[in-house]
Chains A and B, each alone.
Chain A
C-alpha cells in the first residue's frame, strides 16, 4: 500500500499542476501574445467607445436597424449569462411564443406579406446569437430602407457585402453578423435620418 501511495499522490498533484496550471497559463500567454484581439472577446471600437463584441449579439429595436433573433435570456442578450428556451416542439408555450412573434413581425414589417423566416420567430441556443441568415436579414429590408430613406437595392447590397460564406462552401451556413451589418448601415446613412 505504502509503495502505491507515493506514486498516487505525487502523480495526482504533479499532473494536476501540469494540466490545470502550466497548460492553461501557457495557452493564456501564447493567446495574449499571438491573438490579443479575439482572445479578449473581439471587442469593436467606434472611436473611443466600445460598441460591442463581434461574436456576441445585442438588442436592436429601432425600425432603422436590423433586429437579431429572439433571445431566451432575461434581459435579452445579457452576456453575463447564457441559455436557451429548452421548450420542446409540442409545448404549448412554444407555440404561443411563436404566434406572438409572428404577429409582432407582421406589424413591424407591413410591406412583407409572405411567410416569415423561421429563425426570426425562434430563440437561439445561447440567447446571444450574433447572426441572421440572409433570408432573415432580407425580410427586414423594406422596413429599414423606408426608415433610412435608402433605396432597397442599397440595403440588399450591404447584406451581400457583410455576409460570410460556409467554410469551403460546405461546413456551416451562410450568415450575416447583425452588429457588423448595422455598423455598415450607420456608415451609409445616419441612423437618425427618420426614426
Chain B
C-alpha cells in the first residue's frame, strides 16, 4: 500500500471522529427535547406539527404501540411510493416525458426506499420523473432514516436509568430526527455540493455540440443535489443517476467526494456518542465506536491493498498499473480517474460498513478480495457504524450476545449497562442476527438453482456466483449497493430481493423493540465486583470476537465458492 493511501484513510477516520463526537452529543440533547439553540430555533415548528397532527408529545408508547406505529407509517410509505411511480406518466414535473414504472420495479423500489435499502433495479435518469425523485424518493430518504433513529432511541431509552412502562413516542422521535438532524445537515451539504458542480434544476436536460465533431451531446439534469445530500447522510444510497456517485453530475470533484464520503459514516458514527450521552456514561459509546473501527480498518486494508495491486492479467498485456505520482494505477476498470483507487476503495468499504449502498465505482469490477471486503461487511448485518440508527441497534444486539457468552464462561447472569440479560432478550437478539443471514443464504441458494436466477448473470464462473451472493447480502441487510452486472429488473429478482429487504428491515425492528420493551421494565443494577465492565478493552475485544466469529462461521462457506475461488484463479494466472 502506498503511503498516500494510508495517509488518506487515516486522516479521513480522524476527521470523521472529530465531527462525530460533538454531533453525537448534540443529537442526544436535540432528540430528547433538551435545551439549546436548536430547540429555540425550531421548537415552534415542532410544536405546530404536533398540534396539527394531534400528537401529545409527553405520551409514552408501549413497545407494541411503538412497533405498530412504525409498521403502519412504513406501510403507508410503501403504498404511496408505489402509486406515485405507477402514475408518474400523467403527473407534473416530468420534463423528459417518462412513462409509468412497471409493477415489479415499482414494488421493489417502494420497498427498497422505505426500508432504507435503496437497492435500485432501474436507471434513475431514464426511469423516474422529477416528481417521483423528489416527492417519492427524496422524502423516503428522510423518513426511512428518521425511522432508524427513532427505533434506536427507543432501544437506548430502555437501557437508561429507572424502570419505565413505555419506550418513548414514535411520532416525537420521527419529527425531531427530521427537523433537528436530517433537514439542517442536508440543506448545508446540498448547497456545498452544488458549489462543486452537482446539478440542481427543474429542467430536464441541456444540449451541447461537442468540440471536435460538433455532434449533439445531451445531458440528463434534475433536482440532484437535494437528493444526493440526504441519500449520503441517511445511509440510504439511492442515487439520482444510474451509476450513483460515480456520475460526474452527482460527485464531480475531490471536495464533493470527501464530503459525500464523510456523510456516509457521519450520523451512524455520531449515534455511538449519542448513545453514551443518553446513558450518562460516555465511555459506553466510545467502546462501541472502538469495536466498530477495529472491524472497519482491517477490511479497508484488505480491499485497498487488493485494488492497488491491480489485475495481474492486464499487466501481462503490456499495461502499466503501478501506482505513482503521475497515475493512480491499480485495478481501474469501473473506477473514475478523479477518485483513483484510494478514494474508490475507501468509499466501497464505508458504504458497505454503513448500510449506505451508494457507490462511486463499480463493485462488480473489483478484484476478488477487493470485493470480498464489502460483501462481508454487509453480511455481518450492517453493524460497523451501520445504517442510521439500525447499525447501532444491530451492534447493541451483538453486545447482548457478547455479554451472554461472557456470562456463560463464568456462570453468572449476564447484564449490559446494569440491565439483566435473560432468555427473552437473547431470543430477540438471535432473531436479529439469524433472520437476515438466513435470507441471504436461502435467497442465494434459490437463485443459483433456477434459470431465472442464473440467466441474469453478467460474468461467468465464480464471479457470477459472487454477483448473486452480493445481491442477497445487499438486499437482506438493507445496503443497496450491487455487483451491477446482474440483471435485477426481471420479475424473479425484483420480487425475491424485495422480500429479502422486508425481512432484513422489519423482522429486525420488531424484535429490537420487543427487547426494548422488556429491558425498559427492568431495574438498573449497580455494578459489583463480578460485573463485566462494558467500556473496557476486554469487552471491546469480546464484542469484536463475537461479531467476527458469527460472521465468519455463517458466511465463509459461501464466500469460498465465490470470491475465494476467483482470487485463487487470478493468482494462478499470474
Query: Which of A's residues lie within 8 Å of B, judged by CB?
Result: 4, 6-12, 14-21, 23-28, 30-32, 34-35, 38-44, 46, 49-62, 65, 69, 77-92, 94-95, 98-99, 102, 114-119, 121-136, 138, 166-167, 170-175, 179, 182-183, 186, 191
Contact = CB atoms under 8 A, between A and B. Distances in A.
Interface in B52-89: 52-55, 65, 68-69, 72-73, 76-77, 80
B62 to A, nearest CB: 12
A108 to B, nearest CB: 15
Interface stretch (B16-24, B365-373, B397-405): B365-373
B554 interface: no
Contact of A59 (B4, B186, B213, B334): B213
B450 interface: no
A37 to B, nearest CB: 9
Contact of A87 (B219, B223, B226, B485): B485
Interface in B19-34: none
Interface of B: 4, 7-8, 11-12, 49, 52-55, 65, 68-69, 72-73, 76-77, 80, 123, 125-126, 134-136, 138-143, 146, 171, 174-175, 178, 182-183, 186-187, 190-191, 194-203, 205-213, 215, 217-221, 223, 225-227, 229-230, 241-243, 246-249, 252-255, 257-258, 310-311, 313-314, 317-321, 324-340, 342-344, 359-362, 364-368, 458-463, 466, 483-485, 566, 569-570, 573
Given A53-B208, A172-B254, A39 B199 contact: yes
A115 B143 CA distance: 51
* Central interface residue in B230, B246, B573, by most chain A CB within 10 Å: B246
* Central interface residue in B12, B72, B365, by most chain A CB within 10 Å: B365
A89 B365 contact: yes
Given A119-B332, A173-B340, A10 B54 contact: yes
B134 A125 contact: no
Nearest to A182: B211
Nearest to A4: B69
A40 B221 contact: yes
13 contacts: A23-B138, A27-B226, A28-B223, A28-B226, A50-B208, A55-B249, A83-B242, A84-B243, A86-B484, A136-B337, A173-B338, A173-B343, A175-B338
A34 B247 CA distance: 23
A31 B72 contact: no
Contacts of B225: 27, 31, 39
Nearest to B68: A4
B55 A7 contact: yes
Contact of A79 (B213, B217, B360, B483): B217
Which 8 A-B pairs rank lowest in CB-CB distance, beginning with the nearest? Answer: A172-B254, A20-B139, A86-B485, A125-B246, A115-B320, A88-B463, A135-B327, A173-B340
Contact of A20 (B73, B134, B337): B134
Nearest to B254: A172
B459 A50 contact: no
Contacts of A77: 217
A121 B330 CA distance: 12
Contacts of A117: 319-320, 327
A123 B334 CA distance: 6
A90 B321 contact: no
Given A4-B69, A24-B223, A173 B319 contact: no
A9 B196 CA distance: 38
Contact of B336 (A9, A38, A61, A129): A129
Given A49-B209, A84-B484, A98-B319, 9 more contacts: A15-B175, A19-B183, A23-B142, A35-B191, A38-B199, A50-B209, A115-B319, A117-B320, A172-B253
A70 to B, nearest CB: 10
B178 A19 contact: yes
Nearest to A67: B212
Contact of B205 (A80, A126, A170): A80
A14 B52 contact: yes
A16 B135 CA distance: 7
Nearest to A60: B212
Contact of A40 (B206, B257, B366): B206
Contact of A27 (B4, B200, B461): B200
* Central interface residue in A6, A19, A50, A80, by most chain B CB within 10 Å: A19
Contacts of B68: 4
B326 A134 contact: yes
A80 B242 CA distance: 10
Contact of A15 (B7, B142, B187, B344): B142
A39 B123 contact: no
A128 B55 contact: no
A134 to B, nearest CB: 5
Contacts of B186: 23
Nearest to A65: B212
Contacts of B257: 171-172
Given A24-B227, A118-B321, A12 B213 contact: no
A19 B338 contact: no
A132 B337 CA distance: 6
A182 B340 CA distance: 22
A118 B171 contact: no
B333 A8 contact: no
B255 to A, nearest CB: 5
Nearest to A114: B320
Given A26-B187, A79-B217, A174-B326, A84 B314 contact: no
Contact of B201 (A28, A130, A138): A28
Contacts of B338: 129-131, 172-173, 175
A162 B459 CA distance: 38
B76 A12 contact: yes
A153 B161 CA distance: 73
B482 to A, nearest CB: 9
Contact of A51 (B123, B210, B314, B458): B210
* Central interface residue in B138, B248, B249, by most chain A CB within 10 Å: B248
A118 B187 contact: no
B212 A88 contact: no
A14 B559 CA distance: 45
B212 A24 contact: no
A166 B253 CA distance: 9
